[in-house]
Structure 1
Amino acid sequence: MPDGSRDSQGRDSQDSESHDREILGRDILAGLNGRVPAALAEAVTSLPLVDHHVHGCFTTAPTRSEFEQAINEGSPDPIPSFMTMFDSPLGFAIRRWGAPVLGLPAHASAEDYWAARSALPVDELDRRFLSPAGVDRWIIDTGFSTGAISSPAVMTERSGAPSSEILRLEQLAEQLIDRGASASSFADDFRAALQAAAPGIVGFKTIAAYRTGFDIEWSQPADAAVARAVAAWQAAATSGPARLTDPVIIAFLIHAAAALRLPIQFHVGFGDRDMDLHRSNPMLLLGLLRQSALAETPVMLLHCYPYHREAGYLAQAFNNVYFDVGLSVNYVGAQSRQIVAESLELAPFAKQLYSSDAFGLPELHLLGSVLWRRSMAQVLGDWVTQGDWAEADAIRVVEMIGAGNARRIYGV
């Protein structure tokens, strides 16, 4: 909201947002029964986060069916008549943490939740859910965006937090082909397009996990091999839009992007059912990570579940590898404490980041923050009260993972 605007209860918008964050901060610690020391509690609940992998919100109001599909990451199918996605770990988390944002008691019924949500316009829903997340910077993947998803500029306007952009490599390659790039010029055209885009972005993303899996040949292909692969791709795509699934071209994209030394995000693990989950184990990236051409390029492993322990190993083994447990934290709901605890088992804390990977529903942008903060409070609070950690060290780690590491890596 612009400075000085008023909300529906007549309060100044900035005062309202501060008040809502204060209430939410107390709520995050509810039920922990003094397990979180005071200074750590303050750090966890008040830290301005950098969400290093996130998407925009829906620009039009979804139907209830569309809403429930949006909280089912794995399947694009309509929800069967015998069930509701409100009866899922994420559905319960939405009713717990989203209901108070809508003026309802925590754990309100699905019917009451839906009625309250449906009564508000999309822009008001975004403002109610985005601002209390306490995110100081959104790093947005726009590669899956259409007119139905809000732009970074809209995310900034409705949340009050600035946005930076990530460029999706496969999308850029497909755009070049759709615009008529030739097989012989594709390699040079793609490198030129990366150079042109680089000043306006903070990193790249690949969805190789969806297009080829990670069990491919990761050596840098010669331009002649790329030209042959592009020619075959073009020949197969004459009947519709080009969809890149060729492993030679995928490997080329990664190496071309790595040459610019900007961070490259890799979708890892949990995702839609059109991905072969077992082929997205990050251990299958060893053939890529061992190459000297990647050594100076930050490799960002996203969300990672159920391979977050493997990701932690890789973050320890390679100086340029980082990871998060975004997305999965939302989808496991109350079990997020265990996922966060497991992510802290092995990797150095300078190699971990916060993300929500929220897409479409603004509830997910808030939930990512709430569940991560609450999980960190529980896990680190226990370690401090048991005497395993000093409170000052726990606060430093929260600040590193929640914001500091992302600011260093992305330069924001």
Structure 2
Amino acid sequence: MNENKYCQLREAVDNVVAIDAHCHNLVSKNSSVPFLSSFTLAEGAALADTPFTLPFKRSIRDAAELYKVNASLSAIEKYRNSSTLESYGTKCFDASKLSAIFIDDGFVLDKMLDWKEHLLFVPQVGRILRIEFLALKILNQDLQQSSKQTLEEFTDLFLTQLRSTAKDVVCLKSIVAYLSGLEVNTHVTKKAAEKGLQEELQGGIPLQIIFNKNLIDYIFTLSLGVAKELNLPMQIHTGLGQKLLDLTKANPLLLRGVLEDSRFSENRFVLLHASYPFSREASYLSSVYPQVYLDFGSVDSKLSIHGMKSAIKQLFELGPLNKIMYSSDGFAFPESYYFASKNARDVIYSVLSDACDDGDLTISEAIEAVPAIFRQNALNFYDFSKVIKSG
């Protein structure tokens, strides 16, 4: 690649101030969340193999360069232990060049910071409401205090709280892929959902997760109605995730029933994580459905460089450049936000310059795509009146 030829593109990628449209809460220094989670989606015993992965080896060098320490896990942990969260967190977020982050605080972590506390690190913060987290809270608390533990009562509680909370969030979020899969039945009957509710309650409280597909589909469909009513986008987990996820049920093509339901044709959907390894499928959906948008968070930190380039290139094969958005899917540790920002900039530069070499884009078109992908598409898509600001 001719670096001089693309110096303006490189400058645009390096200097653009990004909007991180999907991430999660940081945790306190004394949290039980293992630092190795910064480098992988693995959990438990599988974490032991993380140091042998390409993303780990690359990210250790990136963190070492940022902190000016030796490129080893022990040196980085020593630096972190001798510093404060505010100190190394500020270093990571400043290097990430972010003007705003949107936090899904439904991913509960030990000793996590409140979403508003992240204003310590970035100028603007928005909240993402995870619908299944709200549903669990109602099942475990509010419904237990009610004299009627029926679907009708649950529906009233859920819709009331969803409408009330949704007025102050930038979007809704669903992890239906984790629970029963993306092949959602938007015509699930109340009778089937009622039976599902009673089966869940009979399993004992508190529930840790909702397993009944009919109840899950019912909750998802209710939420789409509120999203349409309030003109809120719905972010949907697609593709790769932690071990709980059945990847065969996380292919975005399974959403066809939702996308073809005329009741929700005006809803807006964001397919998270580039739907990896189903990135081509996601690209296709964004090209034929006006309501489908793409977000490549997690892919920009949890894969090898080759894997990242491959996934992003697949998004670009059919995906309109005005519908592709940056995020980090960062969580727990400031480093995870930094790794994503650094990798995304390098990979987007590489993919766009390749597109120029291939004749798909001119250099000026590639340069125009940079602010679109990293911030302007999000500014156009999300309601920033719901975002809180520092100061």
What is the TM-score normalised by the length of structure 2?
A: 0.88
Matched, 1:164 2:135: no
Matched to 1:152, the amino acid is W
Q: Residues 214-250 of structure 1: CA distance to partner in whole angstroms, max 9, x if unpaired? A: 235x123344543333222212234x33531222222
Counterparts of 1:316 and 1:351, CA distance in 2 = 9
Matched, 1:186 2:148: no
Question: SS at the partner of 2:317?
Answer: coil
Pairing 1:292-311 to 2, within 5 Å after superposition: 292-303=262-273, 304-311=275-282
Quote how far apart the aligned CAs of 1:382 are: 3.1
Matched to 2:301, the amino acid is N
Matched, 1:273 2:243: yes
The 3 A distance-change label for structure 1 pair 166 and 47 is same
Whether contact under 8 Å (1:258, 1:293) holds in the other structure is no
**Partner in structure 1 of residue 137 of structure 2:** 175
The 3 A distance-change label for structure 1 pair 98 and 333 is farther
Matched to 2:198, the amino acid is A
The 3 A distance-change label for structure 1 pair 264 and 111 is same
Whether contact under 8 Å (2:38, 2:336) holds in the other structure is no
User: How many corresponding residue pairs?
Assistant: 372
- Give structure 2 stretches of 5+ with no counterpart: 144-148, 385-391
Pairing 1:390-401 to 2, within 5 Å after superposition: 390-401=362-373
Matched, 1:232 2:195: no
Quote how far apart the aligned CAs of 1:252 are: 1.9
1:53 paired residue among 13, 22, 31: 22
Q: Which stretch shifts more, 116-125 or 277-286? A: 116-125
The 3 A distance-change label for structure 1 pair 86 and 120 is farther
Counterparts of 2:128 and 2:178, CA distance in 1 = 18
Quote how far apart the aligned CAs of 1:42 are: 2.1
Matched to 1:321, the amino acid is V
Counterparts of 1:351 and 1:79, CA distance in 2 = 34
Whether contact under 8 Å (2:240, 2:276) holds in the other structure is yes
Matched, 1:317 2:288: yes
Matched, 1:285 2:291: no
**Partner in structure 1 of residue 324 of structure 2:** 352
> Identity of aligned pairs, percent?
25
Counterparts of 1:227 and 1:387, CA distance in 2 = 56
Quote how far apart the aligned CAs of 1:146 are: 4.0
Q: Which stretch shifts more, 172-181 or 262-271? A: 172-181
Pairing 1:5-404 to 2, within 5 Å after superposition: 34=3, 37-61=6-30, 66-77=34-45, 79-80=47-48, 83=49, 85-104=50-69, 108-146=71-109, 148-157=111-120, 159-181=121-143, 182-183=149-150, 184-216=152-184, 218-238=185-205, 240-241=206-207, 243-259=209-225, 260-261=227-228, 262-303=232-273, 304-335=275-306, 336-385=308-357, 387-404=359-376
Matched to 2:213, the amino acid is P
What is the TM-score normalised by the length of structure 1?
A: 0.84
Q: Which stretch shifts more, 328-337 or 363-372? A: 328-337
Q: Residues 116-155 of structure 1: CA distance to partner in whole angstroms, max 9, x if unpaired? A: 3332222212111112101111011000134522222222
- Give structure 1 stretches of 5+ with no counterpart: 1-31
The 3 A distance-change label for structure 1 pair 51 and 350 is same
The 3 A distance-change label for structure 1 pair 35 and 145 is farther
Whether contact under 8 Å (1:74, 1:272) holds in the other structure is yes
Q: Which stretch shifts more, 40-49 or 65-74? A: 65-74
Quote how far apart the aligned CAs of 1:45 are: 1.1
Q: Which stretch shifts more, 225-234 or 361-370? A: 225-234
Question: SS at the partner of 1:394?
Answer: helix
Q: Residues 65-96 of structure 1: CA distance to partner in whole angstroms, max 9, x if unpaired? A: 9222443313332644xx5x233222122222
Matched to 1:289, the amino acid is L
The 3 A distance-change label for structure 1 pair 161 and 317 is same
Matched to 1:372, the amino acid is A
Counterparts of 1:43 and 1:69, CA distance in 2 = 31
Whether contact under 8 Å (2:101, 2:122) holds in the other structure is no
The 3 A distance-change label for structure 1 pair 214 and 255 is same
Q: Which stretch shifts more, 270-279 or 376-385? A: 376-385
Matched to 1:200, the amino acid is D
Question: SS at the partner of 1:163?
Answer: strand
Question: SS at the partner of 1:402?
Answer: helix
User: In proportion to residue count, which structure has more helix?
Assistant: 2
The 3 A distance-change label for structure 1 pair 392 and 71 is same
Whether contact under 8 Å (1:57, 1:126) holds in the other structure is no
The 3 A distance-change label for structure 1 pair 296 and 36 is farther
Quote how far apart the aligned CAs of 1:212 are: 0.7
The 3 A distance-change label for structure 1 pair 253 and 36 is farther
Quote how far apart the aligned CAs of 1:364 are: 1.0
Quote how far apart the aligned CAs of 1:33 are: 5.7
Question: SS at the partner of 1:179?
Answer: helix
Whether contact under 8 Å (2:328, 2:336) holds in the other structure is yes
